[in-house]
Chains A and B, each alone.
Chain A
Amino acid sequence: MAHLFEKIQRYSTALQMTPLGIALLLFLIGPIIVILITSFWKFNGFLTIPDFTVRNYVKLFTSGLTLDNYLETIRIAAIVWITTTVLGFIIAYYLVFDVLSLKAKMLLFLLCVVPFWTSGVIRMIAWIPFLGKEGVINRVLMSIGITDEPLEFLLFSEFAVILSYVHVFTLFMVAPLFNTMARIDPALIEAARDNGAKGWQILLHVIIPLCKPGIAIGTIFVLSLTLSDFTAVRLLSGANVGTVALSISNQIGSYNFAYSSANSLFLLIVLLLIVGGIMRLVDVRKQL
């Protein structure tokens, strides 16, 4: 018995890691391997046939559509990222530095979470009656005489897609920024003031640099969510926008699993490179 116990102790770390290891293997590594294998298969228009061909990749890298999709995706992601970062920073700053009572802080923070009580798809669809030709916004604008014609760009446009992303993803920027900002020692701000820093100098030279890890984590959230989503594009772009994720979804819709696998894998690599780049720039571990 004692012998067995010693053995268990020796492998205790390995044993403790096993359940997580199995879960990751089954639900993360496994599917990626399946996608990797499928990406080398062949699609003949009806069936996906096991094979070892790089045709899918050749098609991916030579198609003009790929570049267009990536440019469109990156443009949307960049606009969403900048908007959520600025908004997230302002909201987090307000919660941390302007709301003094802890109760009010928590209450306001919970209010930010309320939209998450419904599903993301519903939150996106909810924009349609707002932005449509006969929607709330157009009616209000016309009734107060700002425009005569309904604004067409509001719905079924890139604007609508970006708006819904900003709406849904800003909280993913607020949360990590709130966390980093709340850890800033108030004495640092006093010390900066003592050293003659004006309000904007404190922001620029003390608060923003110290918020870098929070911005980095928020950026990883927002970019991976934006790059991988296709529902908003499908529901709100009115076929005016083509992103990488939407094209992957369309390829799956036409049963071209081989090509969509190659496409997905490349998107995954692009995303990992971005995340890797961010991790190199900012020491995110300080936040964990």
Chain B
Amino acid sequence: MSGPGEVVITNITKAFGDNNAVENINLSIPDGSYCCLLGPSGCGKTTLLRMIAGHEVPTEGDITIGGQSVIGVPTGKRGTSMMFQSYALFPHLTVLDNVAFSLKMKNIGREQRQQEAYEVLKKVQLEPLATRMPAQLSGGQQQRVALARSLITNPKVLLLDEPLSALDEYLRLQMRAEVKRLQLDLGITFIHVTHTQPEALALADLVVVMETGRIEQAGSAREIYDLPKTTYVAEFMGGWNVFSGAVRDSKNNMETLKGPGSEVYQVPAQGKKEGSDLSFGVRRDKVHLLGTEGQEDRGNALSGKVNAVEYQGNWVKVTIDRPEADQIVAVIEDREYFTNPANVGDDVTATWSPADVHFMEKALGEQNLIGETF
């Protein structure tokens, strides 16, 4: 028995002309969970959301909400409500009438719908602004009105299309916490489209990383960040150094990989044939610099020249250039870094333990968007 807000997406494809915006997606979103669809622009996340809302019709496949197929069910009768990126408030109606709009469409009497709208406005602390017009409100206030207008329909699933992207940094963090609080209070399913990695990690029970119409990985925030399945996910989420190499030899449960340049990596044995290619990552905060206090060769060592140093308070980000190879980024605890600070232009050696190596599949195609958030 599935809950009323469970959303199951089966083999969904959406074609625009010859292009598939969404290609054969399967996803199950549990009732009452907070799901973030995360990906760069053009990855199909908004199209998927709009298909759940009923603003787009899938070319193939099925979507069920609470166990009932909603294909062919009109928008507004699916138990979903959508919050638009631009908020889409009716400019000719007051805040109160905007919120009460859906009740008016159901021919509920003026007094009752105003009373109900006041109740919802109270929830988002906008009661004093009920008689204002949308144009007289700030961005944050407009967003609360949009939220109230969605909530008054008592949705089983709330769909949010980049709800925080139009707000400034400070307001964004504040609203982020509020949206999460609200979801916990209401206990309904939230599906939230975003291109911002920390937003997805902070909010979601289920993070769905998308790329060119496909799901790269779906899982808890911790799985997505700490155990990325592909190099794409690791690079998109940020926080990882991604390497690849061919198996050279294997002994004592350790394998030696040979990189495309002269570099050699020590990794836990995978039992792969000699010569086969492997991709792996090392989290930036697991990389240390030789010469700082307490640091010795941890089994892997690569040298290079410091390209940039960014002080971030409790940690320092050191970017290291290597000749004819990708950069390495080390995120070092501030105390450790300042025992022997490296400056731009210095020659340094980065080191990490084979135990911190995480294997992943090589992503298909080229990636152009790399997370730079951590």
Where the two chains meet, the residues of A that have a C-beta atom closer than 8 Å to any C-beta of B are 185, 187-188, 190-198, 201, 205-206, 209-210, 212
- Since A192-B101, A193-B55, A201-B105 are in contact, a sample of 6 more A-B pairs with Cβ atoms closer than 8 Å, ordered by chain A residue number, is A187-B84, A190-B82, A191-B82, A191-B149, A194-B55, A198-B105
A195 touching B86, Cβ below 8 Å? no
- Nearest chain A residue, comparing its CB with the CB of B155: A194
Decide yes or no whether B153 CB sits under 8 A from chain A: yes
Residue of B nearest to A187 (CB): B88
* Interchain CB contact (< 8 A) of B75 among A193, A205, A212: A193
Given A196-B105, A196-B106, A191:B88 Cβ within 8 A: yes
Contact of B76 among A197, A205, A209 (CB under 8 A): A197
Q: Is B102 an interface residue (CB 8 A)?
A: yes
Instruction: Known contacts A195-B76, A195-B149, A197-B76; decide if A190 and B88 are in contact (CB<8 Å).
Output: yes
Q: Main secondary structure on chain B at its contact with chain A?
A: loop
Which residue in chain A gives the minimum CB-CB distance to B152? A195
* Least distance between B250 CB and chain A CB atoms (Å): 58
Cα of A137 to Cα of B76 in the assembled complex, Å: 49
* Chain B interface residues toward A at CB < 8 A: 53, 55, 74-77, 80-82, 84-86, 88-92, 101-102, 104-106, 149, 153
Given contacts A185-B86, A201-B105, A205-B104, contact A195 B153 (CB under 8 A): yes
- Tell me the complex Cα distance, A196–B53, Å: 12
Known contacts being A195-B149, A196-B76, A209-B92, is A190 close to B105, with CB within 8 Å? Answer: no
Q: Is the CB of B88 within 8 A of A196?
A: no
State A197–B80 Cα separation when bound (angstroms): 14
Question: What residues of A have a CB within 8 angstroms of the CB of B53 in the complex?
Answer: 194
Known: A187-B88, A206-B90. A194 touches B81 (CB 8 A): yes
Number of A-B pairs, beta carbon distance below 8 Å? 60
Smallest Cβ-Cβ distance to A194: which chain B residue: B82
Is B84 touching A191 in the complex (CB atoms < 8 A)? yes
> If the complex has contacts A196-B106, A205-B104, are A210 and B91 also in contact, measured as CB distance less than 8 A?
yes
Alpha-carbon separation in the docked complex, A206 to B102 (Å): 12
Instruction: State A206–B53 Cα separation when bound (angstroms).
Output: 20
In the assembled complex, the CB of A41 is this many whole angstroms from the nearest CB of chain B, namely: 50
> Nearest residue in B to A208 (C-beta to C-beta)?
B92
The residue that B105 contacts in the complex, of A185, A197, A210, with Cβ under 8 A, is: A197
Q: From residue A144, how far is it (CB to closest CB) to chain B in Å? A: 44
Q: Give the docked Cα–Cα distance between A197 and B75 (Å).
A: 9
Question: Which B residues are CB-close (under 8 A) to A195?
Answer: 76, 81, 101-102, 105, 149, 153
In the assembled complex, which residues on chain A have CB atoms less than 8 Å from the CB atom of B90? 188, 191-192, 206
CB distance from B52 to the nearest CB of A (A): 12
Residues of B within 8 A of A193 (CB): 55, 74-76
A192 surroundings in chain B (CB, below 8 A): 90, 101, 105
Would A190 and B153 be within 8 Å (CB), given that A185-B86, A197-B105, A201-B105 are in contact?
Answer: no
Look across to chain A and name the residue whose beta carbon is closest to the beta carbon of B159: A194
- In the bound complex, what is the Cα–Cα distance between A192 and B76 (angstroms)? 9
Q: How far is the CA of A190 from the CA of B55 in the complex (A)?
A: 7
A215 to chain B, nearest CB (A): 13
CB distance from B89 to the nearest CB of A (A): 8
CB–CB B88/A188 < 8 A: yes
Q: How far is the CB of A273 from chain B (nearest CB, A)?
A: 26
What is the bound-complex CA distance between A191 and B150, given in angstroms?
Answer: 9
For the complex of A and B, list the 9 residue pairs with the smallest distance between their C-beta atoms, beginning with the closest.
A196-B76, A195-B102, A191-B88, A187-B88, A209-B92, A196-B105, A197-B105, A193-B75, A187-B84
Contact A194 B86 (CB under 8 A): no
Residues of B within 8 A of A194 (CB): 53, 55, 75-76, 80-82
Across the two chains, which residue of chain A brings its CB closest to B99? Answer: A195
Q: Find chain B residues with CB under 8 A from A205 CB.
A: 101, 104-105
* Distance (whole angstroms) from the CB of A276 to the closest CB of chain B: 22
How far, in whole Å, are A185 and B86 apart by their CA atoms in the complex? 9
In the assembled complex, the Cα of A190 lies from the Cα of B102 at a distance in Å of 13
- With a cutoff of 8 Å between Cβ atoms, the chain B residues found around residue A187 in the complex are 84-86, 88
CA distance A191 to B102 in the complex (A): 10
A191 smallest CB distance to B (angstroms): 4
Residues of the B chain whose Cβ atoms lie less than 8 Å from the Cβ of A206: 90
Q: Report the Cα distance A212→B53, complex, angstroms.
A: 30
CB distance from B148 to the nearest CB of A (A): 12
- A-B contacts, 22 of them at CB < 8 A, read A188-B88, A188-B91, A190-B75, A190-B82, A190-B88, A191-B89, A191-B90, A192-B90, A193-B55, A193-B74, A193-B76, A194-B75, A194-B76, A195-B76, A195-B149, A196-B76, A196-B153, A197-B76, A198-B105, A201-B105, A205-B101, A205-B105
Query: Nearest chain-A residue to B92 (Cβ)?
Result: A209
